Amino acid sequence: MTEYNDSSAGTLLLVDDDRPFLSRLGRAMEARGFDVRTAETVADGIAEVKKDPPDYAVVDLRLSDGNGLDVIDALNKLNPGARGVVLTGYGNIATAVTAVKLGAIDYLSKPADADAVYGALMAEPGSKAALPENPMSADRVRWEHIQRVYELCNRNVSETARRLNMHRRTLQRILAKRAPR
């Protein structure tokens, strides 16, 4: 296990609606020296930022009450020097570009471990991310795209099938399966 400095690394706001993940990541970041605060919604995240803008933030893109990018935007306006990282299970280029434009320093796909999050938060400004050791397979990319369109259609199978130019029953079979590796 990696040893971390016991001195405070700064304040860190974690915003995610997955309580077990939020709890695990919070404990891991406290072990790395951060003073951790948590929120489960966009509204709570923005309220925490307005109350006392943190030095760092890790925000889930999709939250129960909206888009986590709103928290990144609020953080960048109130503390332009803060370093924010966006986490998502529904990654795509458009949201990654938007996240960076709003002030995020990195964009990580879930599931991300604490070491990856810590590395993104503490990376030197301007440093380039390493290429992934095992990039997503074509089947996984296809599955991710289908899931993203499905979410954009508010989980409406018929509308998703129409947008993907796919038979509804075929889409239902794909959605019922586990994600490919």
Task: Pick the range with the lowest mean pLDDT from 8-17, 52-61, 136-145.
Answer: 136-145
Which of 38-42, 127-131, 147-151 has the highest average model confidence (pLDDT)? Answer: 38-42
Integer Cα distance of 123 and 118 in angstroms:
8
Quick one: DSSP state of residue 124? Answer: P
Strand pairing partners for 60? 87
Mean pLDDT of 90-95: 68
Burial class (CB in 10 A: 0-12, 13-18, 19+), 160: buried
- Give the start-end residues of each E strand in the chain: 10-15, 34-39, 56-60, 62-63, 66-67, 83-88, 104-109
Most trustworthy range by pLDDT among 4-8, 106-110, 161-165: 161-165
pLDDT in the model for residue 102: 81
Helix axes 69-78, 93-101, angle to 10 degrees: 20
Tell me how far the alpha carbon of residue 121 is from its chain's centroid.
13
Separation CA 39–CA 118 (nearest Å): 18
What was the pLDDT predicted at 2? 45
Strand 10-15, strand 56-60: pairing: parallel
Domain 10-122 top-level CATH class: alpha beta
Is the pLDDT reported for residue 54 higher than 90? yes
Q: How confident is the model at residue 49 (pLDDT cuts 50, 70, 90)?
A: very high
How much is the average pLDDT of 80-90?
Answer: 84
Q: So what's the pLDDT on residue 90? A: 65
Q: What is the pLDDT of residue 7?
A: 53
86 HSE (CA, 13 A, CB side): 31
The residues spanned by each domain of the chain are 10-122, 138-176
Is-contact 168 157, C-beta < 8 A? yes
Would the pLDDT of 98 be above 90?
no
Comparing 65 with 132, the larger pLDDT belongs to 65
Q: What does the block give as tokens for 95?
A: 């949201």
* C-alpha 125: how far from chain center: 19
CATH number of 138-176: 1.10.10.60
